[in-house]
Structure 1
Amino acid sequence: MKQNLDAAGLRDPGLRTAYAACETFLRRRNSAAYPAARSLLPPGRRPYWDAILAFTTYVDDLLDDPAVPVEERAASYDGYTRRFRLRAEGREPWPDPPDEGALLARAFADFTATWRIPGASVHLFLDTIRTDLHVTQYPTFDDLSRYITGVCVQGSQWGGVLFNPRDERAAAAAASAMSFGLQLTDYLDDLREDLADGRLYLPLEDLDRFGLCRAEVERAAETATMTPRLRELVRFQLHRARAYLDEAARWRPLVHPSMRELPRQYVALARAETDRIARDDYDVFHPSRRRRATAAVRAAAALGAARVRARASRLSHAVPVPPTATGERS
C-alpha cells in the first residue's frame, strides 16, 4: 500500500489515509475482479483506480440495500452526495475524524481534481445512478443507453484518463463501447437475478420485437425456462454486445504502452463470456458448468500472462508522471 501511495505522489497524511481506506473497502468487498484488474496497472495509478471503484461502489450500496426502505435510501444518498459536492468544492471542510464514507469521498474528490475530471461528468453519474431507486425498466434502447452512459461510461472514461491516451477522444469512444459491451453481456447473465430484484434491463421495445412482454420474461425466469422467443431475444442482444466489443478493441493501442494490458483483458474477458453464452445455445438460465470452469481456467491463465507483459512493458516504457499535484496533496 505504501509503495503505491508513494508512486502516486501522495504525501499529505490525510489523503494517504483516504486512499488507503479505498483499498481496504474494496478488499473487504472481496471482488475477484478488483485485485486482478488492479495488478495490471503501474503502482502509481492504483490508488486512483481504487478511488474510482470505492466511491462508485459505496454510492451504489447506499441505493441498493433491500433491507432499507426506499425513502431512507434516498435520504442517505442525497445527504451523502450533497456533502461530497460541498466538500469537493471547498465549501465545507472534510470531517475530522472522518468516517469511511467521508474517506472514500475525499479520495475520489482528490482524484477528480488531480486528473481534471469535468464536474458535469461526476454530476451525470450521481444523478443517473439515483434513478435506480425508482426506474425498473426501460421502454427503448435509447432509454437504456442513457442509463449506461450516465452510470457505466462515466466510470470507464474516468479510469481511461489514468492510461494516458494518445488520442483522448478516440480512447474515450472506445472506453464507452467497452462499457456498453460489458453491461449488455452482464444484463443477460444477470437476467434472472435482476428480475428477482424487480428490474429488467432488456428494453421493452426489444421484447416487443420478438413478441414478448415483461410478464412472459418474468415467468420464464421464475421457472428457468428458455422459450424460443426469449432465446432469439438473447441472441439479438448478444449480437449487439459483440458489436460494441469489436469497437472497444480499438482502446488498447490508444493508451500508453505501460497500461495496455487492462483494456486488453477487459475486452478479451467480455468476448469470452459472449462466446460462452452462444455455445450454451443462448440459454442464460442453465449455463454449462463445464464451460464456466473452462472459461475460469483460461481467464486465470490469460491474467497470469497479462501480468508478465504488464511488468515487461513498465520496464520498457517509463510510466508518465501523474498531473501536477493539487494544493492539499503535498
Structure 2
Amino acid sequence: MSTLLEDGYRTAARLTREHGTTYYWGALLLPPPQRRDVHAVYALCRLADDIVDEPDKTPHPSVPAHGTPTERLDAFRAWFFAALARGTSDEPVMASVIDSLRRRGTDPECFERFFNAMALDLTHSTWPTWPALRDGYMEGSAAVIGEMMLPVLEPTSDAARDHARSLGLAFQLTNFLRDVDEDLSRGRVYLPQDELARHGADPHLRQVTPQWRTFMAEQVARNRTLYAHAADGLPYLPEASRRCVGTALTLYQRILDRIEAADYDVFNGRIRVPAHEKLALFGRQAAVGALRPSRWTGVRGRVDRHQQP
C-alpha cells in the first residue's frame, strides 16, 4: 500500500474514532482490510455532513473551505465524483475512499442519493410526516449508508440489502431522538410534524411533558421495529461481519434504553452509552467469536415484526 493510501486510511480511522465511536468499536471486530473500508465510507460521509452541520468549523484539508455551505457541498460532491471517475486522488482521505469503493465495487448511485440528502439539509428544516422524512430525507442519509456498507460486509445473499437499509434507518432515527436539542439549536426538527401535532407535543419547549412522553414512546417503538427487521438480516452475514453489525446494533439500542430511563429527557445533555459498556461488549465478542444470530436481536418487549416501519 502506498504512503498516500496509508495516510488516508489512518486519517479515516481517526475520524471514525472521534465522531462515530459505535461504528469504530464494531469495526474493530472485522479483519483489517474490511475495517479500513468501513472507516473510509464513514469518513466520506462525515466530511460531507460537517459542511452542512458545522459550516463555521475549520474544515479538513479534503473539504473546500470557501463559499456558502451549498457551494462547498457542491464543490465537494463534484470533486468526489471526478476522483471516482479517474480512479484516484492526490488527497490522502479521498484517495483511500476511492481505493475502497473501487475494490469493493460499490454502486456510485448510492453517493448520488447521499449527496442529494445532504443538500436537503440546507433547504429543509422540518418534515411533515414519517413517510416524507423516511423516503424524502433518510433514504439518502441513512438507508443508503446500509447499502454502501454491504460490499464491505460481504453478505452471503442479496436478501441482506433490505435489512441493511433498515439498520441504516434505525441508527439515524436513534440519532434524531437523542439529538433533538442539538438539532433545535441548528434550526432543524427531524421529527414528523403531524405526529407531534397529534400528541400535542412541542420540542421547542425543551420540556418533558406528558404529551412529549407519549410522542417519544411511539417513536422509540417505531425505532425498535426497525432494529428487529435489521437483526433478521444477521444470518446473511459471515462471522466477523455478523459480530461487527451485532455489536453496533446492540450499542445503539442501548441508547434507546437510556432515553427511556431518562424519562425521554433529551434536552439536558447528550445521552450516551458509557465507554466501559462499549469496551465490555467489544471484549466479549472479541473473545467469544461467532454468536448465534438470535443472540443479537436485542429487542425487548413485544414487537410486531409486520408493523410498517
Partner of 1:138: 127
Alpha-carbon shift at residue 129 of structure 1 (Å):
1.2
Alpha-carbon shift at residue 25 of structure 1 (Å):
4.2
- Which of 29, 33, 41 lines up with 1:52 in the alignment? 41
1:80 aligned onto 2:76: yes
Partner of 1:268: 250
CA distance in 2: counterparts of 1:277 and 1:51, whole angstroms: 30
Give the share of equivalent positions with the same residue, in percent: 25
User: Which residue type is aligned with residue 217 of structure 1?
Assistant: P
Q: Where in structure 2 are the equivalents of 1:311-322 lying within 5 Å?
A: none
Which runs of structure 1 show a deviation greater than 6 angstroms over 4 or more consecutive aligned residues?
none
Deviations 1:127-180 (A, max 9, x none): 111211121111111121021120122222222221211112x21111111122
Does the 8 A contact of 1:42 with 1:259 survive in 2?
no
1:304 aligned onto 2:283: yes
Partner of 1:174: 163
- Change in Cα spacing, 1:71 to 1:143, as seen in structure 2 (3 Å) is farther
Q: Where in structure 2 are the equivalents of 1:65-144 lying within 5 Å?
A: 65-67=54-56, 72-90=68-86, 94=89, 98=90, 102-144=91-133
CA distance in 1: counterparts of 2:143 and 2:66, whole angstroms: 26
Q: Which runs of 5+ in 1 are unaligned?
A: 1-10, 314-330
CA distance in 2: counterparts of 1:238 and 1:70, whole angstroms: 40
1:184 aligned onto 2:170: no
- Change in Cα spacing, 1:19 to 1:66, as seen in structure 2 (3 Å) is closer
- Change in Cα spacing, 1:65 to 1:261, as seen in structure 2 (3 Å) is same
Alpha-carbon shift at residue 60 of structure 1 (Å):
1.1
CA distance in 2: counterparts of 1:237 and 1:77, whole angstroms: 31
User: Which residue type is aligned with residue 183 of structure 1?
Assistant: Q
User: Which residue type is aligned with residue 198 of structure 1?
Assistant: G
Alpha-carbon shift at residue 189 of structure 1 (Å):
1.2
- Change in Cα spacing, 1:143 to 1:229, as seen in structure 2 (3 Å) is same
Q: Which runs of 5+ in 2 are unaligned?
A: 58-64, 292-309
CA distance in 2: counterparts of 1:208 and 1:70, whole angstroms: 40
- Change in Cα spacing, 1:251 to 1:20, as seen in structure 2 (3 Å) is same
Q: Provide the TM-score with structure 2 as the length reference.
A: 0.82
Partner of 2:10: 20
CA distance in 2: counterparts of 1:265 and 1:235, whole angstroms: 24
Does the 8 A contact of 1:251 with 1:263 survive in 2?
no
CA distance in 2: counterparts of 1:160 and 1:75, whole angstroms: 31
Partner of 2:143: 153
User: Which residue type is aligned with residue 253 of structure 1?
Assistant: P
- Change in Cα spacing, 1:282 to 1:162, as seen in structure 2 (3 Å) is same
Partner of 1:255: 237
Q: Provide the TM-score with structure 1 as the length reference.
A: 0.77
* Alignment length (residue pairs): 283
Deviations 1:40-75 (A, max 9, x none): 111121221111011111111122224279962211
